[in-house]
Amino acid sequence: MFSKACEYGIKAAIFIAINSAENRRVSPKEISEEIDSPQAFTAKILQALVKNNIVKSVRGAYGGFEIDKAQIAETKLSQIVYAIDGDNIYKGCGLGLHTCDENHPCPVHDKFKTIREELRDMLENTNLEQLALDIKSGVSFLKI
């Protein structure tokens, strides 16, 4: 459902959140290694996250990427998805047809509409803090 860039963006934001909660900035190299993404591609994704005020970039010897602690709990997955993929995930046809709407539905339009609404709800009600805590406690994993 998400583009590869969006998948990497979500993973990167979670990794940065985990480290930021421990007052640690992470380098682009550390991020790309953790999320198993090429460094140049990771850099472009990080630029989009910085541009959309999801993460901060700090230059210098002790620089890297971070998220303000207070912002970790406020940052929703929907913000990351929007920063990378826009809102196409909420609008696109389940079969990829160019014309698919209430007046001209594809065969899966109504079923896919329900899935899109549930996805939107999950993305808008899940924050980085929840995901970071699940990883730290071992409930979920970011890398295997």
Rounded Cα distance between 67 and 122, Å, is 22
**pLDDT of amino acid 92:** 80
- pLDDT of the chain, 144 residues: tens digit per residue: 789 999 999 999 999 999 999 999 999 999 999 999 999 999 999 999 999 999 999 998 889 999 999 999 999 999 999 999 998 888 888 888 988 888 999 999 999 889 999 999 999 999 999 999 999 888 998 875
**pLDDT of amino acid 93:** 85
| C-alpha distances in Å from residue 13, one per residue of 80, 92, 117 | 8, 25, 23
**pLDDT of amino acid 62:** 87
Residue with tokens 């207070």: 70
Query: What DSSP letter does each residue of 30-89 carry, written as one string?
Result: HHHHHHT--HHHHHHHHHHHHHTTSSEEE-STT-EEE--HHHHHH-BHHHHHHHHHTTHH
All domains of the chain in start order, with CATH: 4-137 (1.10.10.10)
Burial pattern 14-42, b for ≥16 Cβ within 10 A else e, equals bbbbbbbbeeebbebebbbebbebeeeeb
Rounded Cα distance between 138 and 118, Å, is 26
Rounded Cα distance between 111 and 105, Å, is 11
Rounded Cα distance between 115 and 126, Å, is 16
